[in-house]
Structure formats: structure tokens, C-alpha cells
Amino acid sequence: MAVRKAARLLSSPGRLAAWLLLWSFLLAVAAVTLFPVVMTFLGSFKSNAEVTGGGTFWPSVWRFSNYTEAWKGANFAKFTFNSLLVAAVTTAGALLVASIAAYAVDRKEFVGKKLFVALQASTMFISIGAVVLRPQFEMMVHLNLHKSLLGVIIILISGHAATFFTLLGFFKGIPKDLDEAARIDGCNVYSVYWRIILPLLAPGLGVAGLFVFRNAWNEYILPLVFTMTKPSLQTLTVGLAGLRYGTSAAAQTHLMMAGAVMSILPILIVYVLANKTFMNVTSGSVKG
């Protein structure tokens, strides 16, 4: 069947030209996207002189010791744990808060519902990094959380508007008749949420959770500000920046590249685990 479709496609000169144009565009986009990743990976095995000097694509000598030096220099074990803690707790908290809010908005009618949705949407445009950093920090100072990763986690969870709208879209695909049937069987509103809604919302939670985890893992400014007086609480993104200059004050770009490659691995693992969820979402959209 696939062979017949391909033959029919290539039989027409116009269709063939369109097919070649489409694939040329897709390959160009893939090349532009993957080129920095490939260069970082290869640069992580080069010497610092090769990286800064340029002119070479492949390493003249594959220096696996770069990874050992980066691991020790950035205190990877400690900083990776801190990053995993921040990303995991932020993901769980954001999904919980956003799913409850989306459940209430989709299933209930209450005063100020439209205003709440409008406020959620506005935070996606108002929360613009450094502009809100000072008031956020001052708020955590009053809560005595300005020297703790808990302050970073609370701020990251509070920025859950994108997750809220993502899950709200998935809620639209869950029939409300299921809620009525569950209530007839004796479930209250909390039981409906935990036993009926959340299992059906699993694909949406997987998709939203991946993006929340990625954003929390890559966050740099907040952990930098909140851990200035406590270097032991630094996350991996902050620790990687410390690899830039060594004891000789020379830029150690090769070590930063090695550290960057290692920092990508957790995100790839999370994506592999969530890949099935993405396939389910795609399959469901095609069937619908």
C-alpha cells in the first residue's frame, strides 16, 4: 500500500517537485536544529585550544578525560541532585495545582470564573524574567525562603499558566457524563478527580509534565540568585557556569561542553519515558 502511494506521488512532476521541496525544507530544519548539538558533543572531546581555535570538525584526539574533569569541577553529583530535586518537585507541584484548577474551571460554575481564566492568561505575558525577579525575591525574604531551594520551587510552581491551559484542553476531551455516573455510584467531587479524571488525564499530564520538567531543569536566574550565599545548593545550570574559568582564569570551553552534554542526558531520559505518552496523544488525535 505504501509503495503504491509513493509510486502515485512520484508519477506526477508537480507532486515530485512538491515532495522534494518539502523534504528539503524538513532536512534543512533538522540540520539547523541538530548542528549545535553535534558540535557541542564533538567539542566535549576536544582540547580547549581546538575548541577556541576552530577549524577542526572531528577531535584530533578523543579526550574522554574532559568528562571526568567537568564532573569534578562542577561538583556534578551534588548539583545534579539539586537540579533533580527542583525539577521533580516543581513538576509534581505544578501538575497538581494546574490539574485541580483546570478541573474546577472545566467542571464547575463559580463567580469570577472568566476573571480567573483571564488572570491565568495574563501571567503568561506579565511574568517576564528579570522584571518580576526582585518582587519575587523580596516576597521570599519575608517568608525566610530566600536562601533555600524551596523558594525557587514555589516560584516555579506559581508560573503554571501554560500547564493550566494545556490540561484544560485535555479536560475538554473527557466526557462530563463520567462525572455524573461516578456521583451516582457514591463518589464525591474529590473521588471523581482522583479516581476518574486523573487516570484519563494521564496523556495530558505526561505532555505537560515534560515541558514543566524541562523548564525547571534549565532554569538559571532563580537558582543563581537564591544560592549566591549557599553554593552547596546550586543547581547544575549554575554549576556549569562555574566551569567557564579555571584556576588560570582561562576560558575552559571544552569542559563547559562536556558538562552541557551530561546535563542533557536527564532530559533525554525523561523524553524517552514520556515518548509513549506523546504517541498516545497523537494516536488519539488522529482517531478523533
pLDDT digits (tens, 9 = 90+) for 83-97: 999 999 999 999 999
Distance CA(89)–CA(214), nearest Å, equals 13
What whole-number distance in Å separates Cα of residue 105 and Cα of residue 124? 18
Locate 158 and state its grid cell. 506559581
The neighbouring-strand residues paired with 251 are 245
Read off the DSSP letter of residue 146: T
**Is-contact 204 167, C-beta < 8 A?**
yes
Backbone angles phi, psi at 251, to 5 degrees: -65, 125
pLDDT digits (tens, 9 = 90+) for 30-44: 889 888 888 888 888
Name which of 83, 211, 93, 225 is nearest 157 in CA terms.
Answer: 93
Instruction: Output the average pLDDT for the chain.
Output: 81
Give the C-alpha distances (Å, rounded to integers) separating 94 from 21, 51, 128, 186, 197: 41, 39, 19, 29, 17
Structure confidence at residue 92 (pLDDT): 93
> In angstroms, rounded to a whole number, what is the distance separating the alpha carbons of residues 83 and 235?
5
Q: How buried is 111 (Cβ within 10 angstroms: 0-12 exposed, 13-18 middle, 19+ buried)?
A: exposed
CA 107 – CA 176 distance, rounded (Å): 8
Q: Bigger pLDDT: 154 or 8? A: 154
Cβ atoms of 96 and 104 within 8 Å: the answer is no
**Whole-structure pTM value:** 0.79
- pLDDT 10s digits, 193-251: 888 888 888 888 888 888 899 899 988 888 888 888 888 888 888 888 777 665 555 66
Mean of pLDDT values over 172-194: 83
Q: Enter the C-alpha cell of residue 100.
A: 485541580
